[in-house]
Structure 1
Amino acid sequence: MSLTKEQILKQYYGYNAFRPLQAEIIDWVLYGQDAMVLMPTGGGKSLCFQIPALVMQGLTLVISPLIALMHDQVQALKANGIAAEYINSSLSTQEQNLIERQCRNGELKLLYISPEKLFTQGYLDWILSLNISLFAVDESHCVSTWGHDFRPEYTKLNVLKQALPDVPMIALTATADKVTRKDILAQLGIPEAKVFISSFDRPNLSLSVQAGRNRIKIIQNFIAERPRQCGIIYCLSRKNTETVAEALRKVGINAKYYHAGMPAQERSEVQNQFIQDDIQVIVATIAFGMGIDKSNVRWVIHYSMPSNVESFYQEIGRAGRDGLKSDTLLFYSYNDLLVRKEMIADSGLPPEMKEVQVAKLERMKQYAEAEICRRRILLSYFNEEVVNDCGNCDVCKNPPIRFDATLIAQKALSAIARTGENVAMGMLIDILRGSNNRRIIEHKYHEIKTFGAGKELKADEWADYLQQMLNSGVMDIAYDEAHAYKLNNASWAILKEGRKVQLVRYRPFEEKQAEREANIPKEKSKREIIKDELFERLRVLRKQIADEKNIPPFVVFSDATLSDMAQKKPLNQLEMFNVSGVGEQKYRQFGEVFLKEIRDFLKTVAKSSAVSTKNSDTIQTTYQLYKEGFSVEEIAEQRKLNPATIFSHLSKLYEEGEEINISAFLSQAEFKEIIQAAKAMNIKNGDPVKPLFEAMDAKFEYHKIRIALLIAEKEENRS
């Protein structure tokens, strides 16, 4: 009997529920329909074709751009017990022949291949002769000239759909605006495919920008505050990667550089060392990262400003793929902007493409100089409307003072509407300021009602406010229509319904940056410290296992799974299966050794905490022993404490939401009698219980009275 998608999710991947849109996409593909999937990095795109591959009878062909990316994904699939392989130039003839034989015999469920290999002479015909059930085009933004990582080989992929029109195709990417999406579908030959757009939001990523001064010192301090956390520093030049890596090594940070000018073997070794957690920091050009399926990158720093928002979003997306808290930092200076503009000017691109690149660079500049929520800027770029600020970027943490700019916004939006949504920033500012230049007269824009309606503002002020409006999603931009502004639902709500608009007063970037204060991290609670200590022990164990098996540590378990383990502290197989990311295959391979490490840790905590006088320490120790199955009397004896103290610990833990079977400490009859007397005396949880104790002639111990009142309060809150 075949497994359902839910059973596959649990058995092979160890998850209890799908993320948003995943189940809907899987059903659509299983129905035999074409699809395009836009999900942020770490959002679970791969499951959208991997699970259909396991349900369908034939072979799923996955088009993937980089050898490293294929290698990591296939390793992860195999670790989960899934039959998958890849074919690329890294294989010997013997290895390739073996995989081809497995394909012919129907022994594989997924085959990863690069477009370059696919279009090797005669190879496409052989691939199309196999029993293919699904085409999956990963990193599909590579197919579009509007995308940020165009690959000419991808443009040939439409032959797949032409040759096998009844085989469904799914295109997947983390970064594509409206123009790019449309182009991807056309290039792949699936223009009518259903587009599934998950939220681009990555709330686990903090976002911050700093002026490009004292970069090395700031980076050193940044890393020092994150010991043992691995990260990536992106630089614009090869020389910068070497300089920064050397500066970090001088202060004891395990860092290496990576760029395209290095010998291929040396690049491969550095990349593998990073994947294996043997290197803490990689300092790299953009040649590094796209093929890295490493889930435990905890931070990304941009030493220089990227050329566009898509690249920036893709690169910061390499942090926190496991969903855990991660940090991003962008350095920005006006000189960075000039260098990028010179690179575009010297690029040899056609004039129209240069114009697009300059416009996209301008959006990146707007992000760097913004005084509105940075996450809103990123999401609005991908046409996702966000109403609330994120609270997890430097602007939100140090918010500027805003003013009611509804009238300003209405003037600009009205001018856009009255010009037929055909004007870009320069023309729009000229209209609003009442400039009588030749182009204005030619288009008769001087005759519209809003001509000169904003002459009280300088051109720089209008430019700043228009950028804020664009970045906050108040309007859109069409790069394929000469960067003309377009109205959206939010625009019309402002024009017709009087929806309010809040903007920040115009100020130069350097002035704004100087006023931002550094964020001081909060001290950790004892519970967080204990969890971190266990996480570190599990991380070390994971590294040992990975080295023995010669696989990346995150293939054993991701940081998210280790974090969940450290939080839940499972003590047996059943509890381990409740940890997110622990499936049957993973448990068979690693479950028992991790359980032993957790048990050993808890024993260590219990012994060390027995002599602690801190209340939080002693309560946590009681909880660990309770979870290990000791009775109240046994815990009290082991810890040399009164049983009443242990009862008070467990009551407090229950009140804080921990899983304590508190009702086991008194009978139902005792509970009813205590609560009846408490109601008569109007005594509730938190009140002194001595009057109730005395009124009931000391029939019940203090701890039973307190437990009864606590349970009653919980039941009352639930009703």
Structure 2
Amino acid sequence: MQDQVLSLKSVNVEACFLGSAQEETANVKHRLLAGEYRVVYLTPEFVESSSTLISTLDKNVGVDLVAIDEAHCVSQWGHDFRSAYRQLGTLRQKLPNVPIMALTATATPEVRRDICISLKLKNPIMTCSSFDRPNLFLRVHMKSSAPKDLRSELMEVGGKLSFGGPAIIYCPTKKASEEALNVVKMLGVSCGLYHAGLPFSERKKTHKQFISDEISCVVATVAFGMGIDKPDVRKIIHYGAPKDIEAYYQEMGRAGRDGDNSDCVVYYSPADFNISRFLLKDVTSEKFKTHKLKMLQKMESYLATTKCRRRLVFNQTILSHFEDKDVTDVGGTNRCCDNCSSKLSDNDHMDEEKDYGKEAYWFLSAVQATGGRYGVSVPIFLIRGSTNQRLPATFHSHELHGKGKARVEKWWKAFARQLMNAGYLKDCPIVGGFGSTVELTDKGVTWLSRQPLSSPSMKMTPNLELKSMENAATANIRPGGSSLGPSILPSVPTNVWLSSRQSVNLSSNAAQRNPEVIDSKQQQLQVSRRDISMDLYAKLIILRNEIADETSLPSYRVFSNKNLLDMAKFRPTSLHKLQALEDVAKEKANVYGTRFLSAISQFCNSNSISTDTKPKENLMQHNATLDNQQKSLFMKMSETARMSYSLYEEENKAVESVASIRGLKTSTIFNHLSEAIKIGLPLDIDRLGISARIIDLITNVIRQPPINSDISRLTPIKDQLPDHVQFHHIKVVIAILQRRYGSPEGASVIPLGSADKSASVTMATTSRSSNNKSQKSSQGSQREASAKRKLPAWMVNSQSSPSSGPKKVKKKGSLFSK
């Protein structure tokens, strides 16, 4: 709250906070009741003990809005429930005509309903944006050793090891965080420690050092993070399994808030979940304990899955947990997650299902035979033929005894978790005690009763643990789809389409016939320009840090690193042009802008470089990469498609980055790129994860029965393809085929031969010329001005406020009055 108050004051908004950390409570209260503040931050604990102050404030000054941040803490089903938050519902009685806004980034449908009930909201308008963060790359690894694992996350920059930017390493316990800290220090990375066992002064110091970039890494327990607003965190590492899926989403969400690509990594071992289960021993409500076990199981499923971590797969992923619906337009790209990236690699063969019917029959029968009175260990003892004293002697002569002795105990435990995630088994908390037993679900009982003893069958995809032990592959999943009329792809080629990599390699103009000479000169020029921009960026960072020291603000509260990079790239010389840059607030520009503009002008004059480069014009220019004919084709596209094409092809942005920059879904960007291909523009499809193998695969499916060149529906095509081929891959390949063979006309069927191998685009192995690379690197990233967030209409126009109560007359000196 202190940071928030300082930030508002820096842009001339009077604000204060009240809570246990406030040292001048009496003075602040006096000024508050005098109407001197426009924004007041209160802790829930302060609200609970100061009902009279709030009522007096509303009567004498006027309260126009109550905003409750981190509202998931209100709900008993939330991952970070706090009893004081639960009491905030009393605000409705104290302030009956004041609108209440509850905000959270991690609320499931169940939690949202509980929040509305607890806060006594009247006819609430519920707005939910997508939970997807396309700029975050998700990775999961099994633990080996801390030095080896953490070293693998580091890169060498200027002779020193670095995480590639600010990083947070979360550990499940204080002891684990201290051990990880020693490892990171040993590797030579500047870092600090943060957990609840440290003195407040030490935690505050670490927090300040991190947000002001004095240290690049914080090793912490989950005590670190609530209220942290550092936008440029590049890496979140969980060294140990997060306690549940909701907590993980909250913690990983602290990465990449500036929109740039960031990594979210988990290193775990199955034993990590024992800690989380142990911590549930003090939960008295059996219903709540069951709920937490369910959340823990979802976390296990997320970590173990070998499928896309974003998409809806057996209700395992983060997005399906929060959005409570199918999520079919996300994922499946190289920048999605480790699983998608691996499956899109030419070196990664298709995953296959395995039939675990025999093993499943033995294990489920063993659980049933032991009466569901134990965890997974005793059934494993039975099927492995163990004489462990925990297995009653009566089972030593059981028909299942020793059936599974060919598998090691570790494999059986991993398989048990697989069965649990698939819904055949369930954890049942021990009433009044610690731990849980394992029982068959209705699904498990039904499966067991229907399987023939001689040849039971259960096909499933091995999870991460089983895959690592067996080197197995994952399965093909078939999504549903819509039905349209037939649209038959012609079979006679009428055009030629080349990817942008191929068009570079096959071009016959003089510049590309002699790339060594031309590219060398231009590359030197581009490197020189880039170095100059980075020199200016370094000077702007120094200036920002000076201002931060003068104002006692965190450095990013002055201007973020992204703001400074944009200033160094576009070099504005007026406040108007500075405010036109993405994410530069008008208030900040007015307060700090003059000093930055002066520094930019002085630097540009000294180095004889241009100023006031126009972002949007740069974005739409196609100098050397498009010839005149292609420029004409380019202008035939819609404006929004041109913007997406420019960012992807000209500025070399990943699809996820383009979507983040433009505030659009990745599926929409793929539609724009497909539009470009259809009209004949070159496109680097390698970066879309579309290899020659994938093109041949999709083409063969389209040309052969049962599709027979009908491209009117994507789902039947997808049904014939392996899981790693996504809908957007199909869209792009269809666009290539339509460009090559012409668009379908009507529903006439054209005679087909065998699978048309000539339809595939031969992928060039060489990359673009260094000439094109240098031109792209000089352009940098630019965001469309229209992508800036806008307030809802009801917040802009006070006449259409959604408050259900009578319109409140604003009192003189009201908190939000000017």
TM-score range, shorter chain: 0.5 to 0.7
Q: C-alpha distance in 1, partners of 2:245/2:612?
A: 48
- 1:374 Cα deviation from its structure 2 partner: 1.5
- Indicate the RMSD between aligned Cα atoms, in angstroms: 4.3
User: Which residue of 2 is the match for residue 182 of structure 1?
Assistant: 113
User: Which residue of 1 is the match for residue 339 of structure 2?
Assistant: 395
| Pairing 1:622-637 to 2, within 5 Å after superposition | 624-625=609-610
Amino acid at match of 2:56: W
Confirm or deny: 8 A CA contact 1:143 1:155 kept in the other structure: yes
1:578 pairs with 564, 574, 580, which one?
A: 580
User: Which residue of 2 is the match for residue 292 of structure 1?
Assistant: 228
User: Which residue of 2 is the match for residue 381 of structure 1?
Assistant: 321
User: Which residue of 1 is the match for residue 553 of structure 2?
Assistant: 551
Does residue 1:117 correspond to 2:57, yes or no?
A: no
- 1:626 Cα deviation from its structure 2 partner: 7.7
CA deviation profile, 1:155-213 (whole Å, cap 9, x unmatched): 11111112322211111101011111111111111163121110011111111111111
CA deviation profile, 1:250-271 (whole Å, cap 9, x unmatched): 3321111111111122222222
- 1:313 Cα deviation from its structure 2 partner: 0.7
Does residue 1:259 correspond to 2:201, yes or no?
A: no
User: Which residue of 1 is the match for residue 30 of structure 2?
Assistant: 101
Does residue 1:310 correspond to 2:241, yes or no?
A: no
Amino acid at match of 2:220: A
Q: C-alpha distance in 2, partners of 1:316/1:536?
A: 29
User: Which residue of 1 is the match for residue 80 of structure 2?
Assistant: 149
User: Which residue of 1 is the match for residue 56 of structure 2?
Assistant: 126
- 1:227 Cα deviation from its structure 2 partner: 5.8
- 1:125 Cα deviation from its structure 2 partner: 3.9
| Pairing 1:143-542 to 2, within 5 Å after superposition | 143-190=74-121, 192-225=123-156, 226=162, 229-344=165-280, 346-376=281-311, 377-383=317-323, 384-387=325-328, 388-391=330-333, 392=335, 393-399=337-343, 464=418, 467=421, 505-507=461-463, 509=465, 511-512=467-468, 526=527, 534-542=536-544
Q: Secondary structure at the match of 2:229?
A: coil
Structure 1 range deviating more: 588-597 or 334-343: 588-597
Q: C-alpha distance in 1, partners of 2:274/2:371?
A: 30
Q: Secondary structure at the match of 1:197?
A: coil
Confirm or deny: 8 A CA contact 2:106 2:250 kept in the other structure: yes
Amino acid at match of 1:397: S
Q: C-alpha distance in 2, partners of 1:463/1:84?
A: 51
Confirm or deny: 8 A CA contact 1:231 1:297 kept in the other structure: yes
- 1:468 Cα deviation from its structure 2 partner: 7.6
Q: C-alpha distance in 1, partners of 2:240/2:30?
A: 48
Confirm or deny: 8 A CA contact 1:72 1:293 kept in the other structure: no
Amino acid at match of 1:378: I
Confirm or deny: 8 A CA contact 1:133 1:167 kept in the other structure: yes
User: Which residue of 1 is the match for residue 648 of structure 2?
Assistant: none
Q: C-alpha distance in 2, partners of 1:483/1:192?
A: 42
Q: C-alpha distance in 1, partners of 2:189/2:370?
A: 58
Question: Measured at CA, do residues 199 and 89 of structure 1 come closer, stay the same or move farther in structure 2, by a change above 3 Å?
Answer: same
- 1:513 Cα deviation from its structure 2 partner: 8.7
Question: Measured at CA, do residues 462 and 306 of structure 1 come closer, stay the same or move farther in structure 2, by a change above 3 Å?
Answer: closer
- 1:530 Cα deviation from its structure 2 partner: 6.2
User: Which residue of 1 is the match for residue 704 of structure 2?
Assistant: none
Q: C-alpha distance in 1, partners of 2:595/2:469?
A: 50
Q: C-alpha distance in 2, partners of 1:404/1:246?
A: 42
User: Which residue of 2 is the match for residue 41 of structure 1?
Assistant: none
Q: C-alpha distance in 1, partners of 2:45/2:543?
A: 39
Amino acid at match of 1:97: A
Confirm or deny: 8 A CA contact 1:571 1:628 kept in the other structure: no
2:15 pairs with 84, 97, 104, which one?
A: 84
Amino acid at match of 2:30: R
Q: Secondary structure at the match of 2:236?
A: strand
Q: Secondary structure at the match of 1:389?
A: coil
Question: Measured at CA, do residues 533 and 513 of structure 1 come closer, stay the same or move farther in structure 2, by a change above 3 Å?
Answer: farther
- 1:540 Cα deviation from its structure 2 partner: 3.3
Confirm or deny: 8 A CA contact 1:296 1:559 kept in the other structure: yes
User: Which residue of 1 is the match for residue 766 of structure 2?
Assistant: none
CA deviation profile, 1:451-501 (whole Å, cap 9, x unmatched): xxxxxxx9998985995899xxxxxxxxxxx99999xxxxxxxxxxxxxxx
| Pairing 1:627-706 to 2, within 5 Å after superposition | 654-655=623-624
Structure 1 residue ranges without an equivalent (≥5): 1-69, 409-425, 440-457, 471-481, 487-502, 517-522, 607-623, 630-648, 663-684, 686-719
Q: C-alpha distance in 2, partners of 1:220/1:243?
A: 14
Higher relative contact order (CA 8 A, sep 6+): 2
User: Which residue of 2 is the match for residue 565 of structure 1?
Assistant: 567
Q: C-alpha distance in 1, partners of 2:261/2:559?
A: 17
Q: C-alpha distance in 2, partners of 1:259/1:513?
A: 36
User: Which residue of 2 is the match for residue 29 of structure 1?
Assistant: none
Amino acid at match of 1:292: I
- 1:231 Cα deviation from its structure 2 partner: 1.4
Q: C-alpha distance in 2, partners of 1:327/1:195?
A: 30
CA deviation profile, 1:646-672 (whole Å, cap 9, x unmatched): xxx9x9974569xxxx9xxxxxxxxxx
- 1:238 Cα deviation from its structure 2 partner: 0.8
Question: Measured at CA, do residues 242 and 570 of structure 1 come closer, stay the same or move farther in structure 2, by a change above 3 Å?
Answer: same
Question: Measured at CA, do residues 461 and 261 of structure 1 come closer, stay the same or move farther in structure 2, by a change above 3 Å?
Answer: closer
Q: Secondary structure at the match of 2:127?
A: strand
Structure 2 residue ranges without an equivalent (≥5): 157-161, 312-316, 373-411, 425-438, 444-458, 473-522, 632-680, 682-818
Amino acid at match of 1:395: N
CA deviation profile, 1:567-604 (whole Å, cap 9, x unmatched): 32323333212112333432233223323443455567
Q: With structure 1 as the length reference, what TM-score do the two structures score?
A: 0.59
Confirm or deny: 8 A CA contact 1:403 1:504 kept in the other structure: no
Question: Measured at CA, do residues 328 and 529 of structure 1 come closer, stay the same or move farther in structure 2, by a change above 3 Å?
Answer: farther
Structure 1 range deviating more: 282-291 or 267-276: 267-276
Identity of aligned residues (%): 32
Amino acid at match of 1:542: R
Question: Measured at CA, do residues 652 and 315 of structure 1 come closer, stay the same or move farther in structure 2, by a change above 3 Å?
Answer: closer
- 1:398 Cα deviation from its structure 2 partner: 0.6
- 1:272 Cα deviation from its structure 2 partner: 1.8
Q: C-alpha distance in 1, partners of 2:28/2:193?
A: 34
CA deviation profile, 1:661-695 (whole Å, cap 9, x unmatched): x9xxxxxxxxxxxxxxxxxxxxxx9xxxxxxxxxx
Amino acid at match of 1:169: I
Confirm or deny: 8 A CA contact 1:72 1:292 kept in the other structure: no
CA deviation profile, 1:594-627 (whole Å, cap 9, x unmatched): 2344345556776xxxxxxxxxxxxxxxxx4486
Q: C-alpha distance in 2, partners of 1:72/1:485?
A: 52
Amino acid at match of 1:506: P
Q: Secondary structure at the match of 2:67?
A: strand
Q: C-alpha distance in 2, partners of 1:178/1:541?
A: 46
Question: Measured at CA, do residues 222 and 506 of structure 1 come closer, stay the same or move farther in structure 2, by a change above 3 Å?
Answer: closer
Q: C-alpha distance in 2, partners of 1:304/1:626?
A: 49
Paired residues in the alignment total: 481
Confirm or deny: 8 A CA contact 2:170 2:238 kept in the other structure: yes
Confirm or deny: 8 A CA contact 1:305 1:330 kept in the other structure: yes
User: Which residue of 2 is the match for residue 704 of structure 1?
Assistant: none
